[in-house]
Amino acid sequence: MPLPPRRNQRRVLPCPGSDMTDPKTKPSAPACAPAPEGEPLGPITVEVTRGDLVESRHRAAFAVIDPAGRVVLSGGDIARPVYARSSAKPLQALPLVESGAAAAFDVSEAELALACASHTGEPRHVATVRAWLMRLGLGEGDLECGPQLPVHHATLLDFLQGGGTADAVHNNCSGKHSGFLTLARHLGAPTRGYIRYDHPVQQRILGVLEAMTGLDLGAAPRGIDGCGIPVIGIPLGNWALAFARLADPHDQPEARQAACARIRAAMTAEPFMVAGTGRFCTRLMQATGGRVVAKGGAEGFYCAALPELGLGVAIKAEDGADRAAEITLGQILRRLDVLGDGDTALLETPIRNRVGLRVGEVRPASEAPF
Amino acid sequence: MPLPPRRNQRRVLPCPGSDMTDPKTKPSAPACAPAPEGEPLGPITVEVTRGDLVESRHRAAFAVIDPAGRVVLSGGDIARPVYARSSAKPLQALPLVESGAAAAFDVSEAELALACASHTGEPRHVATVRAWLMRLGLGEGDLECGPQLPVHHATLLDFLQGGGTADAVHNNCSGKHSGFLTLARHLGAPTRGYIRYDHPVQQRILGVLEAMTGLDLGAAPRGIDGCGIPVIGIPLGNWALAFARLADPHDQPEARQAACARIRAAMTAEPFMVAGTGRFCTRLMQATGGRVVAKGGAEGFYCAALPELGLGVAIKAEDGADRAAEITLGQILRRLDVLGDGDTALLETPIRNRVGLRVGEVRPASEAPF
């Protein structure tokens, strides 16, 4: 029984004294005081069953935010700084478009989707990256993401049986890195070292993140992602705000509005390029035909832009489990009437044993606050 | 600063009115009333860092119990029924030995360790299973565990590059299933269907679980494991009691005392056979030379018998994360002075990005109750 979204007046974002609708006025991160360490990050949202028992449970914080920073729906601590990991990719691709780099280098819709992707290393992903790099006058050796084997199981088996070994072009981030290289070329910056925090590419991205999250991020906590680029600690509510603005960027400069529209269009037109066969991101965008622009990230993160509703969603599983973030997103989308009860494949995941028998499921928790 | 174990008089096990030191007197499961659903299963014990932030956190319930059922150390809800998954394997191997089946079929120390294993499918594991099945007059087709690819990465690459496909002998449970087949042959029971709850092999195991956990399990919650056999829901404290009795079975019948001694000896003499290269179980038993008999299970479970201290340990991560159960076990063993501060490799796990740079770690949480 999903309820319609309530637009109450609570604004965790912006904090008192700041004006989140004006991207030039930015409070320091974190925007609001996070809950004390040791408090649960959020309520139990997902349970994992096996036979007669719930075997495991997951907690998650979640925020549904509108472009003015109003909280439509939330649970848990949405003020604690968290890394979005690969969920930030659609935001990290904005400078590629708004700088004119994508147009200058004829970046296609499929390539742009791949710039926002954690791809599974399937042949079309890899061929597209290779062709893109060649058009830049660059090669696989210019990718600084490090080597990885294909994630997609059947592709992996073929690849290994053909004598393949881990390489940078199969890295799930190779599309994002191709986008970074394109931007570096367009800015006239060195391509070498484009993953470093102080490189013009990463600094340009940081500026866009500031505008989209409404925060000054110069002193934000940070770390290094699996693919070598900086990750920035930002309150969950502000990640949701950034995705609300991706959905509805009316308060952003014109070039950014156009860039947001192009990224939404690319990701929803090419959901396979954003992830791959069988992946939650891909299946969700295939099933919702433009109504959801979704991107998962490592350690149990998920973000989504909902263009029809003008809302952004961000989810962080306390324990870092991807299965928790996925099923929590499904619940939120059902709560917002974006998914219906019939979208079973997006609302729960069967657990099968090694002979294929269904022995349990990952599903919304009975105590989930939805 | 590990503290010596305290033997207080609190006995969560046995419950009032039962006598847990007498295996013939069994209360119904669950032994004590579990905490209400929705309560955390246990405190935060493990944190996952990246750069400036703690990125994810794990909660776990844990129990350290002596053979009389006294609680030496515990955290969280140790009365809620939980599945031990593969952590139950050393207990499931007891009937193989105490029935005389292992002696009748000349089961070696390495084979017995493999009967208690979740092995990584490395060549020595697979060759040992094949030779054992042949000695029984059986073959891979008699294994009902289902197909799996080798877990060990380098073995997997070799296997796939040689054209290998998933099969039952590479299933991480193939040693346990070979033990079941050995017991079926010895009992004169059909080998077919040995994974079923009502098969004599599984019923024999259920009886031993009852004696070791001190519970009547006839009406216990149950489900089906990844390899097809029954899993039984038992309170965490009673799993720890079973491992305390594995460590010190003085209150058990003579044949079981001898079987416990043989299983302890086999697992600690052959730690590679219990798991494989690089695995936590294997590294822990290699590092502690007989002082720890440890076995992990899926969905964040760990059990250990500590023969020198006469204690049993059981851990369940609320969210099912194996990394949480491993690091929690390390903390408990340091608390009990079984590990020292110098055992860094068992107390935390580095997180590296794809070019090998250390970017974070899985480590004891700052708020862990140790």
Q: Give contacts of A221 with chain B, Cβ < 8 Å.
A: 51-53
- Across the interface, of A57, A161, A231, the residue whose CB is closest to B50 is A231
User: How many CB atoms neighbour CB A240 within 10 A?
Assistant: 32
CA B106/CA B102 separation, integer angstroms: 6
User: How many CB atoms neighbour CB B218 within 10 A?
Assistant: 10
* Average pLDDT of the segment spanning A205-211: 98
DSSP string, A198-261: TSHHHHHHHHHHHHHHTSB-TT--EEE-TTSSEEE-EEHHHHHHHHHHHH--TTS-HHHHHHHH
* Average pLDDT of the segment spanning B250-269: 98
Q: Answer yes or no: do A57 and B51 touch at CB < 8 A.
A: no
Q: Would you put residue A238 in left (φ > 0), alpha (ψ -120 to 50) or beta?
A: alpha
Predicted-complex ipTM score: 0.92
Q: Answer yes or no: do B353 and A225 touch at CB < 8 A.
A: yes
pLDDT above 70 as % of chain A: 90
Q: Answer yes or no: do B221 and A320 touch at CB < 8 A.
A: no
| A142-177 tens-digit pLDDT | 999 999 999 999 999 999 888 899 999 999 999 999
Distance from CA of A24 to the nearest CA of B (A): 26
Handedness of CA A147, A151, A156, A157 (dihedral sign): positive
**Residue-wise burial string across B320-354, b where 16 or more C-beta atoms lie within 10 A, e elsewhere:** bbbbbbbbbbbbbbbbbebbeeebeebbbbebebb
CA A34/CA A237 separation, integer angstroms: 11
Residue B163: pLDDT band (50, 70, 90) is confident
Q: Which two tokens stand for residue B252?
A: 């058990």
Residue pair A29/A96 in contact (Cβ under 8 Å)? The answer is no
* Among chain A residues, CA nearest to B45: A38
| B309-361 tens-digit pLDDT | 999 999 999 999 999 999 999 999 999 999 999 999 999 999 999 999 999 99
User: How far are the Cα atoms of A22, A31, A309, A318, B41 from residue B36, in angstroms, in the given order?
Assistant: 47, 35, 38, 21, 10
CA A363/CA B78 separation, integer angstroms: 24
CA B216/CA A142 separation, integer angstroms: 64
Predicted confidence at residue A161, as pLDDT, reads 85
HSE value, Cβ hemisphere, 13 Å, CA-based, for B62:
32
* Average pLDDT of the segment spanning B49-68: 98
Question: Under 8 Å CB-to-CB from B60, ≥6 apart: which residues?
Answer: B41, B42, B43, B45, B46, B75, B76, B300, B315, B316, B317, B318, B324, B325, B328
Question: Under 8 Å CB-to-CB from A36, ≥6 apart: which residues?
Answer: none
Give me the total of CB pairs closer than 8 Å, taking one residue from chain A and one from chain B: 159
Distance from CA of B257 to the nearest CA of A (A): 31
* Average pLDDT of the segment spanning B130-135: 98
- Across the interface, of B228, B324, B353, the residue whose CB is closest to A353 is B228
Q: Answer yes or no: do A222 and B56 touch at CB < 8 A.
A: no
User: How far are the Cα atoms of B57, B110, B337, B341 from residue B368, in angstroms, in the given order?
Assistant: 11, 37, 17, 16
3-state secondary structure of A299: coil
CA A220/CA A339 separation, integer angstroms: 35
Predicted model pTM: 0.92
| A2-14 tens-digit pLDDT | 333 444 445 545 4
Task: Check residue A88 and report its DSSP letter.
Answer: G
User: How far are the Cα atoms of A232, A250, A307 from residue A224, in angstroms, in the given order?
Assistant: 9, 32, 31
- Across the interface, of A58, A224, A321, the residue whose CB is closest to B353 is A224
Question: Counting beta carbons within 10 angstroms of the beta carbon of residue A130, is it exposed (0 to 12), middle (13 to 18) or buried (19 or more)?
Answer: middle
Which helix (H) or strand (E) is B94 found in, with range? helix B94-98
Question: Under 8 Å CB-to-CB from B1, ≥6 apart: which residues?
Answer: none
- Across the interface, of A144, A161, A353, the residue whose CB is closest to B227 is A353
Distance from CA of A226 to the nearest CA of B (A): 4
- Across the interface, of A144, A223, A353, the residue whose CB is closest to B224 is A353
Interface test with A, best of B45, B49, B50, B363 (most A CBs within 10 A): B50
